[in-house]
Amino acid sequence: MTPAAYRELFERIVASGEPYGPPGDAYGADYTKLNLARTRRLEKTFRPLPEVQAIMADAAQQNWLVITEPWCGDSAQNLPVISALAAMAPAITVQLVLRDTNLPLIDQYLTNGARSIPKLVSFDAATDSVLFQWGPRPLAAHDLVMSEKLKPEAERLTKDALAEQLHRWYNTNAGHDTQLELGTLVGKRSV
């Protein structure tokens, strides 16, 4: 689906007030509503760096496939940046697909054996070969999460406390690392 169609779906899910989440682990309706608020905030506050804008303007022809879900907090924090960058690039088209109804697709693009999202896969527009993959989060955010998961279980933050810490990082970072990482990947393919 297009980013606009995804956004309409996201809005409908939140408006329904029904819980929505990964199979067997539905998140409360309030969590998906919070993700929509995160998305809206980032759409309003995101400021692209001039050097990234220049890279995106000169990007080679490519198609971005983003595997995502409205219930995903990382998607709420990264998808607005991905969409904004693609909008700056006349040579990039974006399509989104829901992870939970397309498990064979996400299974082709696992992250450390997990169905982590968002997952961006860039394809060469002429050959359909994979140019690069990115996701589910910027390296610094990934390191924050992984350092917690490597601790002995008794010393780890709870899932909620880790999510709070991660979203504080996202708020402070304001899409900076996501745009730099994607700009670097796109720049390598546009030379």
Quick one: pLDDT at residue 188? 84
Mean pLDDT across 15-24: 82
Quick one: pLDDT at residue 43? 94
User: What does the buried/exposed string (b/e) look like for 157-189 if buried means 16 or more CB atoms within 10 Å of the residue's CB?
Assistant: eeeeeeeeebbebbeeebbbbbbbbbbebbbee
Mean pLDDT across 142-154: 94
What token pair was written down for 139? 């390296």
pLDDT exceeds 70 at position 131: yes
Radius of gyration of the chain (CA): 16
Instruction: Encode pLDDT of 40-88 as tens digits.
Output: 999 999 999 999 999 999 999 999 999 999 999 999 999 999 999 999 9
Quick one: pLDDT at residue 190? 57
Q: Among candidates 137, 130, 127, which has minimal Cα distance to 178?
A: 137
Segment (H or E) for 13 = helix 3-16
Domains of the chain: 3-135+178-189 (3.40.30.10)
Per the CB < 8 A criterion, the answer to whether 189 and 60 are in contact is: yes
